[in-house]
Amino acid sequence: MVDLSQYLPILLFLGIAVVLSTAFVFLPMGVSRLTGSHKPDAEKLSEYECGFPAFEDSRGRFDVRFYLVAISFIIFDLEASFLFPWAVSLEYTGWTGWGAMMVFLAILGLGLAYEWKKGALDWE
């Protein structure tokens, strides 16, 4: 049986952490207005570039391989989430459970090998 009352401290911790970090972000804004260090101007607020105005929109195209990494990540992270409950119940599932998971791992291993062969993991 899951003891949900143990999760309440985490929720409280989350609340305190959010309040603390929000205060850390917004408090200096107020302080800098009081001390007079808050003096924005157009040049200061422009985005960082090496001494000249930016040529184009910074949210340009990016390499498709980042996308491939994200897709592969979803597959293998999902696989890990299947492994977690299996890892603590090996005692009850016995050889059948172990064999089933090995078949699953083998299929994903094949997938990884295919991805590797196709060059999806190469960054030249």
Partner 1 sequence: MTEFFQSLGMTYEWAWFVATIAGILLIALPLMLAVAMIIYVDRKVWAAINLRRGPNVVGPFGLLQSFADGLKVFLQETIIPSAANKGLFLIAPIITFTVALIAWAVIPFNSGAVLADINVGLLYIFAVSSLGVYGVVISGWASNSKYPFFSSMRAAAQMISYEVSIGFIIVCVVLWADSFHLNTIIEAQRGHGLGFINGFIANPLLFPLFFMFFISALAETQRVPFDLTEAESELVAGYQTEYSSMSFALFWLGEYANILLMCALTAILFFGGWLPPFDWEPLYLVPGFVWFFLKIFFFFFCFSWVMATVPRYRYDQLMRLGWKVFLPLSLLFVAVISGWLMFTRYGGVA
Of residues 12, 105, 108, 123, the one with CA closest to residue 69: 123
CB of 77 to partner 1, least distance (A): 6
**Site residues for partner 1 per CB under 8 A:** 2-3, 6-10, 12-14, 16-18, 20-22, 24-29, 31-32, 35, 37-40, 42, 44-49, 54, 58-59, 62, 66, 69-70, 72-73, 76-77, 80, 83-84, 87-88, 90-91, 94-95, 98, 101-102, 105, 108-109, 112, 116, 121-124
Q: Are 53 and 96 in contact (CB under 8 A)?
A: no
Interatomic CA distance for residues 77 and 83, integer angstroms: 10
Which residue, 32 or 114, has its beta carbon nearer to partner 1?
32
Interatomic CA distance for residues 103 and 95, integer angstroms: 12
Of residues 62, 45, 63, the one with CA closest to residue 54: 45
Which residue, 114 or 124, has its beta carbon nearer to partner 1?
124
CB of 60 to partner 1, least distance (A): 8
CB of 6 to partner 1, least distance (A): 5
For residue 83, give both structure tokens. 């492994």
Burial of 93 (0-12, 13-18, 19+ CB in 10 A): middle
CB of 85 to partner 1, least distance (A): 10
